[in-house]
Structure 1
Amino acid sequence: MAWFVKIEAGKVDKPIFDQYVPAHKAYVQDLIDKGHKAKTGYWGQRGGGMMLFEAASMEEAKAIVAQDPLVQNDCVSYQLYEWRIVVE
């Protein structure tokens, strides 16, 4: 499994964004339960965040991100990267 990073920027006002946070948290918990070792969080200055997770390929990573309620409800724009760890 490879590590992937989704770096996102908010596109909607906070009250709209906040409507989808519970669904996003449930989605991330489901990824954890399925073994993807997902972590999610936001920047201290607001306006965006990041999710780390494991997937078998970039294709699987794209499919995982497409299921994120924040993506499905057009709350964020994002970039997806494979993260190659050099020191653990």
Structure 2
Amino acid sequence: MSNLPEFVYIIRPIRSGFIEEVLPEEMEVMGQHFEYLKDLLEKGTLLLAGPCLDRTMGITVFKAESIEEARAIMENDPAVKLGVMSAELHEYRAALFAGQK
């Protein structure tokens, strides 16, 4: 799987008050989002993921066979699918990273 193209999707809250206070139903969806990402990690698809500490956005860097598969992975993220977050997909290539030789 290491030779597959890399992609990144950026998620941002849809509701304007999300940054100040996460509602219980949003927290539940974000828990599903976290489990979804853990599953991608276990499958070897996910490279890294995490939120900005100010909660304005999060990023997911992963590998997929094609842009179509990458879009499906992004759109099936519960945070996106259930309308808590908007998402945008980009092709990506890590150029510099720790441990690189």
Long gaps (5+) in structure 2:
none
1:42 touches 1:49 (CA, 8 Å); kept in 2? yes
In the TM superposition, residue 49 of structure 1 has moved relative to its aligned partner by 1.0
- Look up the match of 1:54: 63
Q: Count matched residues.
A: 88
- Distance change (3 Å), C-alpha of 1:86 and 1:26: same
Unaligned runs of 5+ in 1: none
Please give the TM-score of this superposition, normalised by the length of structure 2: 0.77
- Computing the radius of gyration over CA atoms, which structure comes out larger, 1 or 2? 2
Residue 69 (1) aligns with residue 72 (2): no
Task: Indicate whether 1:21 and 2:30 are aligned.
Answer: yes
Distance in 1 (CA, whole Å) between partners of 2:45 and 2:34 is 14
- Structure 1, residues 2-54: CA drift from partner, whole Å, max 9, x if none? 11111111013311421212211111111112220342211122222111111
Change (3 A) 1:24 1:38: farther
Q: Kindly indicate whether the alpha-carbon contact (under 8 Å) linking 1:10 and 1:76 is maintained by their aligned counterparts in 2.
A: yes
- 1:55 deviates by 0.8
Percentage identity across aligned positions?
A: 31
Paired residues of 1:28 and 1:39 also in contact (CA < 8 A)? no
Report the alpha carbon displacement of residue 82 of structure 1 after superposing the two structures with TM: 0.8
Query: In structure 1, which of residues 11, 26, 30 is the aligned counterpart of residue 39 of structure 2?
Result: 30
Deviating above 4 A after TM superposition, structure 1's stretches of 4 or more consecutive aligned residues are: none
CA RMSD of aligned residues (A): 1.5
